[in-house]
Structure 1
Amino acid sequence: MRSSPRNNGSATIQYEKTEGNQLFPVFLKLNNLHTVLIGAGNVGLEKLTAIVSNSPSARVTVIANNFLPEVHALASAYNGVKIIQKAFADTDLDKADIVIAATNDTELNTYIRESAHERKLLVNVADKPDLCDFYLGSIVQKGDLKLAISTNGKSPTVAKRLREVLDESLPGELDITLQQMSELRNSLSGDFAYKVKTLNEVTAVLVDKKAEINKKGLIWLIWGTLVLAIAITFYALWSKDADFRTYVEHIDHRFYYFLGAGFVFALIDGAIGMSYGVTSTTFSLSMGISPAVASMGVHLSEVMSNGIAGWMHYRMGNINWKLFKMLVVWGILGAVMGAYILSSLEEYSKFTKPFISVYTLILGIVILRKAIQVGRKRTGSKIKKINLLGFGGGFIDAVGGGGWGSIVLSTLIAGGRHPRFSLGTVKLSRFFVALMSSITFISMLGGAPWAPVAGLVIGSALASPIAAKISNKLSAKTLMMAVAIIVIVVSVNSITKFLLKVF
């Protein structure tokens, strides 16, 4: 089917009319525009959240008679958001560039649309595709990479599901690739044809599946060769070197138990992003290790893993530096104090063990609750006292042998902070907190049983190359529930044994 011909000088051009989604995608610089949002209920909150999540410096005026508390909380976190509690008047659009109608009044939404069109303004009317000049699509973002998904207003649910799939499939490291490509492009000299050729050669690997497979195969080949080399070396020394065999036979047998346990706990942590501290501490206490030594082993094994994770988040731009400074300073103070107190009570470890078991029991319940709530949207008021959160998190983490992520990260996200920046900031600050608490423990515990500690550290290090791959194969919810149940059962058993001895 063809449209009516248009005359363009001496030529007549006919355009082919196409079916399907004919929307033209654009990305607006909302930082340079004034958006007026009418409505502050659930739909208004959803629209405002979408705006500030993508453009934190956007200038937005929200007009409504009644406001949800979450709207006030969200507005207080962004300087560009202004709230006006009043009934809508058409003069409210005099200085607007973009208009969004998000009320539950159909007549009012129609009036807002007419007022916007009188001023030649583009308007979005919530849940009314026929009245919209533009739609707010589902967004997938990895640093500077941003993808917008549109179903032409047919099914926002499908767009949301596609966003979830793409968000999980696209690696966060894509942003590093973008930054490197930008630097490469700026460094190239020569004409346009040469630059295009060079960039094509560099990016060919992105579409070359064979190259990707070869790269993964090479990584696994190197890892497998390393493990095989260690095994062959160990066997050769065991069979031919009597001194080596004698030395191995006299190693504390707990080393091997903790080696396997550290490996498994690191895999679990890689799959669900938490629980390494609580599982390691619970296991250590059940093996007769004192709370101070258990906490030292956990923190020593977490120094390297959190350092690498923090560096990667730094490279991807996932660090909120203002939040980081407050967390790391107060977190270190709390961790050092907690490590000092716990180490000073080492001779009373038989009395401190049940208290730590109560703590791990509580963390087990927290993990179980998180497993039940996986996938639920959580909102709340943003926490303001970061210094108290950092100090408390560091202190409890050192005393209990874990919990920094469960306490600090969960609180930040539940308080409405961006999950990606919260995770990056908490991971980087965790490196310094774990390092300083480890130093404190080592300086205080001169005669600690180092074999179990070494087993935990080495086991977790061996698991790190494959932990990320495990995360894509297992159900996080199922694994979290299993971990929570095990932690709860072991903690209750430890508490019961103590009570039986006392009474």
Structure 2
Amino acid sequence: MTLLPNDNKVTPAEQSKGTGNELFPVFIKLHQLHTVVIGAGKVGLEKLTAVLTNSPQARVTVIAREILPEIHALAANNKNVTVINKAFAEYDLDKADLVIAGTNDNNLNEYIVQAAHDRKLLVNIADKPELCDFYLSSIVHKGNLKIAISTNGKSPTIAKRIKEFLNREIPDEIDDTLEHMSALRDNLKGDFAYKVKKLNEATAILSAAPRKAAPNHKMLLRWGIWLTSIACIVISLVSLWYKEPDFQAYVRDIDPMFYYFLGAGFVFAMIDGAIGMSYGVTSTTFSLSMGVPPASASMAVHLSEVLSNGIAGWMHYRMGNVNWKLFKLLLIPGIIGAVTGAYLLSSLEHYSQYTRPFVSAYTLILGIVILSKAFNRKPKKSADKIKKISLLGLGGGFIDAVGGGGWGSIVLSTLIAGGRHARFSLGTVKLSRFFIALMSSLTFVTMLKSAHWDAVAGLIIGSALASPIAAKISNRISSKVIMVAVGIIVVLISIRSIANFVIKVL
């Protein structure tokens, strides 16, 4: 709510000649005041709803000759709302603290304003800025955070659009941050200056200015170290090749599968960096097509993801993008599901020729999901958040271990579709993914006797080499094109694997 002082009133025309919006925003404790609403039609209902939405305990009296049934319903559910069916009289404001009118009678509106001003009361007249002492703002409400938006009466539509934008961009979890800051402030010791300094440090990330396009010396240093390291490795390998005959023999003895998976791991990590998904499904699909059993394929994927997800999870933690309540709900069930899935798949390694088509069917479904996301990038709106988080984590972890991937595709997409904030969901899923991949990998390593280590090593090294440049490539390639290509390839290879199994059976 935005108030304009009763004395020395300034008209909107006069305000526009000044420095812009000169209204003074305040927040009023309506539960300690008596608000009188005059008019009980559609406008009166809108005003009453706005008051009760922002202050459910507000004491309100509604006065009108014609009253909508919805207003009677609100009064029936709120003991602090009184409805009086009668024409407005000046004495109705004798015990009022604030006046809001929603009538279409200009003469009545002017009479209400005069009666309010005689009693030194502030009044709001719907759709009549020149008669208003204060305006009802568009409100963004996130727990203890409340933001009022005013366009100085110029455009309620613009205020509505800004409200929609802020509601979308400010996460619901901001209320958790406010609670943490309140606890921190209460527990801080020292003088006022020290407390201000510590609170500023804790909230610095919220006001961080966007970086300028100036050269980033730290980034240049990292790239210099990375390229120098690669150059040293290449020079060392070339030197060994020409100076050590034993090294040449060792290289020649390496299984060609290592090189295939080295290149594949590099490409799949680049794709994942470009579109933020599909590393697990592409790696698993490729592994199955190369004859690697499902358990070994899943182990290779999870081992190669431990480091990358650990780094990503740590960065999201540093940026404050982790919802710890959600993290706790996902972690334990996710680990249980992942370990169970890895154990069962490893136990069935001797029957890989039978389990492979089921995993191929799973990758076929994920390939179709990737294609659907490529052509429908608009997020679905959902009013209700998903409630069974632990069950989602259990199922996501199990399917991820059995199918070689899917934690992100299943858990992240479900959380976002269920109304969770995308940034907090991504950070939480990435951090929990580190533990899921770690526990799955340990189970596979413990259970498997023959794990196709050439393929595993190639996939790990290839994805590690791609990780520093994947993010750069993502800004230069159309994600839709990549998603379509990946989806088609995954679907075709999965269908081929299933068809080959059917042919063998028949």
Query: What interval of TM-score do these two structures reach, taking the shorter chain for normalisation?
Result: 0.5 to 0.7
Separation in 1, partners of 2:504, 2:265: 30
Match of 2:301 among 295, 298, 301: 298
CA displacement at 1:320 relative to structure 2: 2.0
Please tell me whether the aligned partners of residues 343 and 447 of structure 2 are also in contact (alpha carbons under 8 angstroms).
Answer: yes
Deviations 1:417-443 (A, max 9, x none): 222222121111111111101000000
Partner of 1:408: 411
Partner of 1:446: 449
CA displacement at 1:134 relative to structure 2: 6.0
Deviations 1:131-151 (A, max 9, x none): 993654999x9xx9x999979
CA displacement at 1:406 relative to structure 2: 0.9
Please tell me whether the aligned partners of residues 298 and 403 of structure 2 are also in contact (alpha carbons under 8 angstroms).
Answer: yes
Partner of 2:173: none
After superposition, where does 1:4-83 map in structure 2 within 5 Å?
18=17, 22=21
Deviations 1:269-295 (A, max 9, x none): 122221111111111111111100010
Question: Gaps (5+ residues) in structure 1?
Answer: 1-6, 8-14, 53-57, 67-82, 168-174
Separation in 1, partners of 2:41, 2:215: 49
Partner of 2:172: none
Structure 1 residues 351-360 or 151-160, which shifts more? 151-160
What amino acid is the match of 1:354?
A: P
Q: What's the % identity of the aligned pairs?
A: 52
CA displacement at 1:364 relative to structure 2: 1.1
CA displacement at 1:213 relative to structure 2: 4.0
Partner of 2:489: 486
Match of 1:257 among 238, 255, 260: 260
Separation in 2, partners of 1:407, 1:100: 49
CA displacement at 1:393 relative to structure 2: 0.6
Separation in 1, partners of 2:381, 2:489: 26
Partner of 1:77: none
Match of 2:221 among 218, 223, 246: 218
Partner of 2:471: 468
In the comparison of the two structures, how many residue pairs are matched? Answer: 425
Please tell me whether the aligned partners of residues 310 and 427 of structure 1 are also in contact (alpha carbons under 8 angstroms).
Answer: yes
Separation in 2, partners of 1:241, 1:129: 91
Please tell me whether the aligned partners of residues 257 and 455 of structure 1 are also in contact (alpha carbons under 8 angstroms).
Answer: yes
Deviations 1:177-200 (A, max 9, x none): xx9xx9xxx99x9x9xxx9xxx9x
Deviations 1:342-394 (A, max 9, x none): 00010111111110000001111112222222124421532222221111111
Partner of 2:5: none
Match of 2:246 among 220, 243, 252: 243
Structure 1 residues 329-338 or 207-216, which shifts more? 207-216
Partner of 1:289: 292
**Cα distance, 1:421–1:501 mapped onto 2, change above 3 Å:** same
Deviations 1:240-276 (A, max 9, x none): 2111111111111111111111112112212222111
CA displacement at 1:475 relative to structure 2: 2.8
Please tell me whether the aligned partners of residues 65 and 87 of structure 1 are also in contact (alpha carbons under 8 angstroms).
Answer: no
Separation in 2, partners of 1:460, 1:242: 29
Separation in 1, partners of 2:275, 2:130: 39
Question: Gaps (5+ residues) in structure 2?
Answer: 1-7, 9-13, 61-67, 84-92, 170-176
**Cα distance, 1:259–1:86 mapped onto 2, change above 3 Å:** same
Separation in 1, partners of 2:239, 2:221: 26
Separation in 2, partners of 1:149, 1:469: 40
Please tell me whether the aligned partners of residues 274 and 475 of structure 2 are also in contact (alpha carbons under 8 angstroms).
Answer: yes
TM-score in terms of structure 2 length: 0.67
Helix, strand or coil: the match of 2:315? helix
Separation in 1, partners of 2:32, 2:471: 41
Please tell me whether the aligned partners of residues 393 and 404 of structure 1 are also in contact (alpha carbons under 8 angstroms).
Answer: yes
After superposition, where does 1:249-398 map in structure 2 within 5 Å?
249-398=252-401
Separation in 2, partners of 1:242, 1:379: 65
**Cα distance, 1:488–1:414 mapped onto 2, change above 3 Å:** same
What amino acid is the match of 2:21?
A: Q
Separation in 1, partners of 2:494, 2:76: 52
What amino acid is the match of 1:456?
A: L
Separation in 2, partners of 1:161, 1:266: 38
Partner of 1:69: none
Helix, strand or coil: the match of 2:269? helix
Helix, strand or coil: the match of 1:212? coil
Separation in 1, partners of 2:383, 2:82: 34
Separation in 2, partners of 1:432, 1:393: 13
Separation in 2, partners of 1:84, 1:451: 73
Separation in 2, partners of 1:433, 1:279: 19
Separation in 2, partners of 1:396, 1:324: 19
What amino acid is the match of 2:295?
A: A
What amino acid is the match of 1:153?
A: S
Please tell me whether the aligned partners of residues 335 and 439 of structure 2 are also in contact (alpha carbons under 8 angstroms).
Answer: yes
Please tell me whether the aligned partners of residues 149 and 163 of structure 2 are also in contact (alpha carbons under 8 angstroms).
Answer: no
